[in-house]
Structure 1
Amino acid sequence: MLLLIAPAPLLQIEPGRWALEEKFASGMKLHCEAWPGKVRVLLRRPVGFQAGDSLPDTEGWFELALMEPGQPPEPAHLRGASVICASADMHELYGLPALIERPAQKLVYAVEYPLETQLQILRLDRQMGVLRKLRSAVWHLGQERRRRQAFRVADGVQANGWPAAESYGGLNANLLMYLDGRMTADLFATPEDMATRAERLRSGAPLRIVHSGRLEPLKGAQDLLPFARALRALGVDFTLDIYGDGSLAEGVRQGLADPGLQGRVRLHRPVPFRSGLVPILRREADLFLSCHRQSDPSCSYIEAMGCGLPVGGYDNRMWRGLLGESGAGLLVPMGRYAALAAGIAGWDRDREDLIAKASAALTYAQAHGFEQEFGLRMQQLRALKAG
């Protein structure tokens, strides 16, 4: 049996009835198809869940179990599992090495957010005061010691992206770095998409820039309009379409009244990934703008690249590593939106370079599609079972 312990939420659809997020449920079906045996999923019991409430119908794909929020799993939760894959972003799981039955059970941690990213998120949180941030930072430091100790004795670690891989690479000999994303083989930009975009760029048409994601400080949403003003001041003819929502959305919306931005910058509600965002990126965009102020393993980079788009972004550890391997964009110092505008203005003058980087983006993303990256993760787990 494969046991997955994840932070995925249960969603209440009506009193007494709960459902899984669609993305998580779809991912679980893939796990079940790739694992040669039974699969159990252990989630936190949500607030308000009562004994007798109806759990989601998993259609026999996997067994669903619940544990108390904030509490470590009980031995009964682990019973029967040969491989346990646990989220290292759940601090209550750092005691698992003491609970598993050696050598019959193997333990792998999956990590997305290293300490650096957690502290960046904390620093950019506008809802917390200074003292609360300080207390939270001290707590994170304490949990980091527990996390690193758990990684050292685990049978493997799966690190999502360069920030996590670089932070923990020396702790476990069986560390696998992967790139999380939703680009399946059927979603990548086609040769026709690429040719049409290249022809349009060579015609001198205005640059079509797209940004998507949560409009929050940690995602750099506060830099979107200043970037647009800086690009306009450089004389670049462009449009910027922003897809997303969040705490900064109203400020962005009000900023669109700027006469210099009217008709150039447009704010849209979030759209479905497969049926909405992917067609837009493939057919209505020339490049992707990322202003992420944190080193999170955002899938936005690799997904935009899979749609054939070069990326302009800040010098965070994720984009630095991805750009270094792919050559599919440009990078400027953190928070320097004027430098980002200058770099994209350079692309406006040298569109052949923009077209070449679009090709590099697609080629790299196709080598790291969902099927390949998911396959590597499952291969690591199956190898532990066989061992």
Structure 2
Amino acid sequence: MANRLVIYSSAPAQQREDGLWLDAKFVQGMERHVAEWPGPVSVVLRDVGLPLPFGVHCPPGSLGFDLAIVPRGAPITPHLGRDVALVAAAADDHEALDFPAQVKAVDAKLVYVLEYTLGTRLRILWMDRTRGLARRLRSALWTLKQERRLRRALRAADAVQFNGYPAYDVYRGLVRDAHLYLDNRLSGDMMARDDEMTTRAERLRSGAPLRLIHSGRLEPMKGAGDLLPVMDRLAALGVEATLDIYGTGSLEAEIGAGLARFDGRVRLHPPVDFVRELVPINRRQADVFLSCHRQSDPSCTYLEAMGCGLAVAGFDNGMWRGVQERSGGGGLAPLGNVAALADLIAGWDRDRDRLVLACDSARAFAAEHEFDGVFSARMAHWCKVAGLTEQAQ
């Protein structure tokens, strides 16, 4: 019986003089796939020439899966074989949208994974400072044409796994089998402990200054340009608060140049290791995660901050709205309204019990979506689609 899983991924790969290098997070994720799939696993990567800032050397025989690296535009059928039960592919990659016919040709099942909506793609294009107006318009037209291909592909697939509420809400009516999940890297043992939650609550109720934190890429599309204006507004409102920013990006110099006016209340740090450094910092040295993200993509940052016991103050984008309404783990401000976002935080400053409740609600919701449970549920869904449920058990 066919039982092979083939994963089509856009993860970067590089052939160097000393051999193959792959993205570290990708390799770690594949170890988990190999462990939980009831059969052999293969991976097909596109040779896309992407940078590999966090790469690991992969000598021959060191991987627990077969790997093929193919040029862009090349069909994947020669790399599928006859024992394939399921092909999993990212529908956000336009080169995967012709897969239904290729997968059907080898009598296998196809599951797409989808994160972005058309609206999110267009907004990301429009905020790209590296593109002139004419280029953005051409890209938008191309994206609109790809949307028709995407919808046809989703209808033809055997199932679709949606990462986040926006894509699920927009496209679930097109597919025959929809699975919703909230991707994040926080396992149960990484969540804030009860004693840490108690310590934070006692500190907040004592009236100590609010400790805000932000982590991620410092880019316009991530809303990083709004971080300092929020702090300006809080200062004007008389709110005592600090902000620690962890990240790097095109706005790093601009943010760094603006720190002096805050007299040490806003600090900029380079990126730190997620497990060893950022998670403990979130759990023990912060109260509120400040998110100025305007896009509706399924950022894992929300769940990861919430699992550390942080209430999230964010703009009313599609993803954060979906999480906030279901969790009560933070607050919403109108999209792009910096003053309203600061006012939200100022309200928590005046009502510390309400902030403590939001922190508790945030951790409780994140615990329901911790990494191990989310991953295992996704794999169980793949097995069901492939007809391998009994073997998986």
Q: Deviations over 1:153-191 (max 9, x none)?
A: 100001110111112111102011110100011100000
Counterpart CA distance in 2 for 1:57 and 1:267 is 41
Match of 1:180 in 2: 183
Q: Deviations over 1:131-174 (max 9, x none)?
A: 00000001011111101100001000011101111121111020
Q: Deviations over 1:55-90 (max 9, x none)?
A: 654634111111112x14332112231100011111
Instruction: From 80, 88, 94, give the equivalent of 1:78.
Output: 80
1:288-327 map, 5 Å: 288-327=289-328
Match of 1:135 in 2: 138
Instruction: From 29, 34, 37, give the equivalent of 2:36.
Output: 34
**Contact 2:12–2:49 (Cα < 8 Å) also in 1:** no
Counterpart CA distance in 1 for 2:332 and 2:269 is 26
Normalising by structure 2, we get a TM-score of: 0.93
**AA matched with 1:90:** D
Match of 2:161 in 1: 158
**AA matched with 2:36:** A
Counterpart CA distance in 1 for 2:98 and 2:345 is 48
Counterpart CA distance in 2 for 1:56 and 1:8 is 18
Counterpart CA distance in 2 for 1:74 and 1:22 is 24
**Between 187-196 and 165-174, the greater mean CA deviation after superposition:** 165-174
**Between 264-273 and 94-103, the greater mean CA deviation after superposition:** 94-103
Counterpart CA distance in 1 for 2:373 and 2:312 is 22
Match of 1:256 in 2: 259
Counterpart CA distance in 2 for 1:103 and 1:129 is 44
**Contact 1:72–1:93 (Cα < 8 Å) also in 2:** no
The alpha-carbon deviation at position 45 of structure 1 amounts to: 2.0
**Contact 2:182–2:300 (Cα < 8 Å) also in 1:** yes
Counterpart CA distance in 2 for 1:251 and 1:166 is 37
The alpha-carbon deviation at position 228 of structure 1 amounts to: 0.4
Normalising by structure 1, we get a TM-score of: 0.95
Match of 1:51 in 2: none
Match of 2:7 in 1: 4
RMSD: 1.5
Match of 1:245 in 2: 248
Secondary structure of residue in 2 paired with 1:383: helix
Change (3 A) 1:87 1:355: same
Counterpart CA distance in 2 for 1:26 and 1:180 is 15
Secondary structure of residue in 2 paired with 1:289: strand
**Contact 2:190–2:279 (Cα < 8 Å) also in 1:** yes
**AA matched with 1:320:** R
Whether 1:215 aligns to 2:218 is: yes
Match of 1:20 in 2: 22
**AA matched with 1:297:** P
**AA matched with 1:293:** R
Match of 1:91 in 2: 94
**Contact 1:110–1:157 (Cα < 8 Å) also in 2:** yes
Secondary structure of residue in 2 paired with 1:100: helix
**Contact 1:222–1:248 (Cα < 8 Å) also in 2:** yes
**Contact 1:73–1:93 (Cα < 8 Å) also in 2:** no
The alpha-carbon deviation at position 16 of structure 1 amounts to: 4.9
Q: Deviations over 1:202-230 (max 9, x none)?
A: 11111000011100011101101111000
- Identity over aligned residues, as a percent? 51
Match of 2:361 in 1: 360
Secondary structure of residue in 1 paired with 2:214: strand
Report how many residues are paired: 378
Q: Structure 2 regions of 5+ residues with no counterpart?
A: 51-56, 389-393
Q: Deviations over 1:209-261 (max 9, x none)?
A: 00111000111011011110000100011100001100001000001122xx1
